[in-house]
Chain A
Amino acid sequence: MKDVSFGQYYPAKSFVHNMDARVKILAVIAYIVAVFLVQSVTTAQGVAFQFLGFGACLLFVLIATLCARVPFGKVLKSIKGIMFFIVLSAILQIFFNASGNVLVKWSFITITDVGLLNAGFLVARISLIVLGASLLTLTTSPVEIADGIESLMYPLKFIKFPVHEFALIMSIALRFIPTLLDETDRIIKAQKARGADFDSGNILKRVKALMPVLIPLLISSFRRADELADAMDSRCYSGSKVRTKYKKMRLTWRDLVATVAIAGLICGVVALNVTGFLAVVVLL
């Protein structure tokens, strides 16, 4: 239970940790856009340029990781979580892409150069996105993320969207993840001590074995929700009307530097796309 890496905050003092959460969220979105801007081209000559685009994104993540003082292992661990998904999409691309030059043909399996390229492309794209996103959660505490999203959604207030309540729901949910993990851990241990076995048998048996964990967990969640509601009521919590923030978010020089860097990345990727496209045209 303790090694859930994706979405885990890594406390440290660094350039990235000290950035404004709103800028970090926007930067991650911009970064994902940059990764998607790297174009897929089907001719072999264009390939080098495309992977240069990914190279630029990778370089960006590496530098950001260095600036964040997060160990590389921690960031890489996030990919492990979705390894299955990555491998599956790569396999689908390799075996079921019929266009391009055939490299291997063996009964119903056909492997083409385009299939291989697309697979590599997809793996690079997914991995880069996950790396960037995990950097956000590693350097920004859940509370900061919730605050940032609330602030970013502020314009929606004008169409009567309950932004504050939405943010409250989100931060309560995030706040209770560690509590629930601890609780799950404790209940699993208690049932194990009574001989429960969670690691053997077929799927059906394992799901059934989880009932003695899920029922107490559900009950205690309801109890917790009740208690929290009472606590909020007794302090006259009244939603968004007149609440001020304990931590004001402020833009600093760091945010400016990061904005310039991410703008540079997007420009670089677009430039590589254009030159790659031109190169293909010229070679043809």
Chain B
Amino acid sequence: MRVEVKNLSFVYGQGAKALSVRALDNVSLTIEEGEFFGIIGQTGSGKTTFVQHLNGLIKVGKDSGSIKIGEYDLSDKKCDFKSLRSKLGMVFQYPEQQLFGDTVFDDVAFGIKNFMPEKNAEETEILVKEALEMVGLDYQKVKDKSPFELSGGQKRRVAIAGVIVTKPEVLVLDEPVAGLDPVGKREFFALLHKLHKSFVKTVIIVSHDMDAVAENCTRAVVFSQGKVVCEGTPKEIFSDLETTNSLGLGFPVTAYLTARLKEVGVDIDSDLTVDGFVNEIMNKLCGGNE
């Protein structure tokens, strides 16, 4: 499903002028099917407001733009949001805080119960098992446990299993690696790539972690004060470190090294992933010979 947003605007607290905040200002962007798309920006730049529009949790206001996702027109009042939400999964910040089921199984099956009431017990079990194994948990071991007795990382995996259990085509994640350690982060992105190779066609992540964006995303946008200020591949976005710095963002370590090497006259032209960067340096060092 293609995501097409045109001239989207949104104001919080429209009633009282003293309290109103312009969260989105004329945002237009298109995300093609198959992309691993990053959304970066400072806290309060409108990223979360933007992604919450994508599955109709925040409705598109009158005269404030349009959103089309596949055949769904979200600016249309008659849009079938329930069916849209089954195809566009959304993982919130700290998803482990939304767990509620008596058992892990119940919690993961919640989405099936809501979106696919026609599934019988057997079919449900197959789907739940598949989802839990997808996120790297042992189905037999965890299914009857209470989600609250699991570790933090396991809880997060359960929560994500609860979103992907209905096999959404588009997966939107809001700060998915916040609070994870480096190993946890790496594992998490490996999981996202695994999902991206199976039924999830498009991944959209909101992140503060510039290294993660450079390493994983095919394309990204930068939000600042409700506007899209920069759009392109990580390489294009981080080609000018001063601009990203002025927007209050950090930069990936590979971009920083590229800039510093340029200062001393070494030109490294890589895609800013760690592997790509190292390969490029090796090439330079060995003069092109392996």
Contact = CB atoms under 8 A, between A and B. Distances in A.
B49 to A, nearest CB: 12
B92 A186 contact: yes
A189 B81 CA distance: 13
Interface in B34-48: none
A109 B232 CA distance: 74
B176 interface: no
Contacts of A191: 98, 110
**Does more than half of chain B's interface fall in helix, strand or loop, or is it mixed?**
helix
Contacts, number: 64
A215 interface: yes
A187 interface: yes
B16 interface: yes
Contacts of B19: 11
B110 A212 contact: yes
Contacts of B199: none
A243 B50 CA distance: 45
B100 A189 contact: no
A164 to B, nearest CB: 32
A196 B114 contact: yes
B97 A195 contact: no
B163 interface: yes
B97 A220 contact: yes
Interface of A: 2-3, 10-12, 71, 74, 186-187, 189-197, 211-213, 215-216, 219-220
The list of the 6 closest CB pairs from A to B, nearest first, reads A195-B114, A215-B100, A193-B90, A190-B98, A195-B115, A194-B111
28 contacts: A2-B13, A11-B19, A71-B16, A74-B16, A186-B92, A186-B93, A189-B57, A190-B90, A190-B92, A190-B98, A192-B57, A192-B85, A193-B55, A193-B57, A193-B92, A194-B111, A194-B162, A194-B163, A195-B82, A195-B85, A195-B86, A195-B113, A195-B114, A211-B100, A212-B100, A213-B100, A215-B100, A216-B98
